[in-house]
Amino acid sequence: MKPAPFKYYAPTTVDEALSQLAEYGWDAKILAGGQSLIPMMNFRLAQPSVLVDLNNIPTLSYVRRARDGGLHIGAMTRQAALERDPLVAEAAPMIHAALPKVAYPAVRSRGTLGGSIAHADPSAELVAASVALDARFRIRSRRGERIVPADEFFVGLFTTVLEPDEILVEVQLPPMPPNSGWSFMEVARRHHDFALVGVAAVVTVSRGVCDSAKLVYFSVGDGPVEAKQAGSVLRGQKPTPEAIGEAAETAATADIPEPNSDINASAEYRRHLIRVLGKRALTEAFERAENR
């Protein structure tokens, strides 16, 4: 199929793009990598009357070290570029580990970090990783600029707090906390397929005791799901196999009691994966924290 007719704009500056979005509002859609939007338009699942293409705005593509040791990444930075960037591997190893799991190399060569996050697919690796890493998103419109924490950005199925006249321009990743460890795991039917269940974990330890533990699951609901009760189980405890197992069980029974059920996996099977991946991810994260 072919998309419905639309007007096409290719601004060369952010201000120009913001002016066009302010003019057309809900009738306009932003084109970043286009790896999700274009297929939806071809099947007429999305029928915007205006496309605002950000690919000719070079100032939206960069990776910079922040003053606090974290990273600031332009929203139009290609996923493939991030995958190969040594600075990302050093400062944001979870992002570096998650990227090869995102679709196929051809998709990552066009897909962008900001596009994936703004699309808010509940199965998207980068969405869950951004929440686990306490990322912040810099958003601009003609009305001004605001910073939104990742855990407040995603509000539902393919839905974010972005207004129709706003652009996500930058992803800000804080540095990994001292004495911390991380893990990123998923299970898919085939390599590069959408995950049946995935999890991003970040833990911190002090003198052999867990200070904090964050588990963020994806492909289990309408968006990234943080297992907060599971994290509470571990705080103040030694990360023994028994404590880790209890946290993973809490994630499967209390935090996510009713995961999605579809043709790819039943709710029961996803609940099993929540337990298994939670236990494995926490174990690996605590091991990395100990080694640091």
94-140 pLDDT per residue, tens: 999 999 999 999 999 999 999 999 999 999 999 999 999 999 999 99
pLDDT of residue 213: 98
Q: Per-residue confidence at 192, pLDDT binned at 50, 70, 90? A: confident
pLDDT of residue 1: 74
pLDDT of residue 170: 98
Just give the CATH number of 7-53. 3.30.43.10
How far is Cα 234 from Cα 111, in angstroms, rounded to an integer? 36
Q: Tell me yes or no: is domain 62-173 CATH 3.40.50.720.
A: no
User: Which pTM value belongs to this model?
Assistant: 0.97
Specify the domain boundaries for CATH 3.30.390.50 within the chain: 180-291
Specify the domain boundaries for CATH 3.30.43.10 within the chain: 7-53
How long a stretch of residues is the chain?
A: 292
- 180-291 adopts what CATH topology? Enolase-like; domain 1 (3.30.390)
pLDDT of residue 292: 77
- Above 90 in pLDDT, residue 159? yes
Please give the average per-residue pLDDT across 29-54, as a whole number: 96
Average pLDDT, the chain: 97
* Helical ranges in the chain per DSSP H: 14-24, 37-42, 79-84, 86-91, 93-98, 105-110, 113-119, 125-132, 150-153, 228-234, 241-250, 267-291
pLDDT of residue 149: 98
